Amino acid sequence: MKTLALILGLFLAAGLQAADKPLTSSANPLPRLIDLGAGKCIPCKLMKPILDELTNDYAGQFEVVFIDVWEKREEGERYGIRMIPTQIFFGADGKELARHEGFFARKDILAKWKELGVELKEPPSAKQN
């Protein structure tokens, strides 16, 4: 029983430490777009296919993360969310560069990256069109 309590304690401590660290997933960090919304919010539902396309088309150039703040309310508080959806742009260094509240079209997201100085290569799928 003590072993189980020790393991659980270590697991919880590791989780708390991880929550305090910036969101980086590799040794070569990428810029990151975090979309905070909810699975049942209409504008958030409209964002889902856009986020999926960006994830596929720009893999290796920037990361896309969706956080459901109705399921994870603490994340909404952590990021100071006032409305959903909210998109937060982070540089490769983990620093916040910009925010947008509400629906955000694909072309506008890509324009924002360009405005922020993040050079993106055109995905192969766009060259076919």
Any idea which residues carry the catalytic annotation? Answer: 41, 44
- Residue 5 CA to residue 76 CA, distance in Å, equals 30
Task: Give the helix ranges, DSSP H, for 28-123.
Answer: 42-57, 73-78, 106-115
Query: Given phi > 0 = left and psi -120 to 50 = alpha, else beta, which region is 47?
Result: alpha
* Core vs surface per residue 108-121: b (16+ CB within 10 A) or e: ebbebbeeeebeee
- Residue 2 CA to residue 80 CA, distance in Å, equals 39
